[in-house]
A = this chain, B = another copy of it.
Amino acid sequence: MLTLHHHPMSAASRFIRLVLGEYGERVELVEERPWQRRQEFLALNPAATLPVLVEDNGPAIVGGTVAAEYLDETRGAFQRERRLLAEKPGERAEIRRLTEWFLGKMDGEVTRYLVRERVFKLEMRAEEGGGPPDASAIRAARLNLKNHMRYVGWLAESRNWLSGTRLSYADLAAAAAVSILDYLGEVAWDEEPLAKEWYMRMKSRPSFRPFLAERVRGIPPVAHYGELDF
């Protein structure tokens, strides 16, 4: 039995949900608000970051990239052509580079800021860091987002999937981040038609379906969010 501590607006959490969906694994979801520093959650992960995966009563598997490695070792390795991490070390390194790009670099430059300012601050109490959104942080993140979407478009142009010829963790990591930004209406799809074409393919996968119906309290998604052809 797999349990995932997650938040719907955490890109790394969505990434692991996509991986589990692709591998046909059932998972019990526990929603966490990391800023509340719940004791039982801190005992699982003193860094208070998401996601945290637990299998049966095993040790906590902490973080998106660490959980993805665990799932490759315990599931992916037996999936043959549906494996989401390549076989060759050089190709695996490229998939991991891009996964880190979308869950690390893009998260630190775009996703985390926009989610914090536009979503989490509404729910946080003042002593947890709540309050009005910081307009300059939002502006900087939006500017960075343009570069990241250009990079997605460039990858989609040069390759069939973002890391090469096959669907991989790189696509799932990118789609996880982009789906959150799309929910918030932050993506200028007209500017990046190739990124849009790639994202439509991602959106139509069964693993993606749960996201399309998911709603964040108090924040309705952009009008086209649930549409496969937008």
Contact = CB atoms under 8 A, between A and B. Distances in A.
Interface string A66-102: 1101100110000000000000011011101100110
B92 A73 contact: yes
A118 to B, nearest CB: 22
Interface string A116-128: 0000000000000
Contact of A93 (B46, B69, B90, B93): B69
B90 A58 contact: yes
* Chain A interface helix/strand/loop/mixed: helix
A62 interface: yes
B63 A92 contact: no
A63 to B, nearest CB: 6
A105 interface: yes
Contacts of A67: 93
A66 B101 contact: no
Interface in A37-81: 46-47, 49, 58-63, 65-67, 69-70, 73-74
B66 A93 contact: yes
Point out which of A61, A63, A65, A93 has the most chain B C-beta atoms below 10 A from its C-beta.
Answer: A93
B62 A97 contact: yes
18 contacts: A47-B101, A47-B105, A61-B90, A61-B93, A62-B97, A63-B97, A65-B65, A66-B93, A66-B97, A66-B100, A69-B69, A69-B92, A69-B93, A69-B96, A70-B89, A70-B92, A73-B92, A104-B104
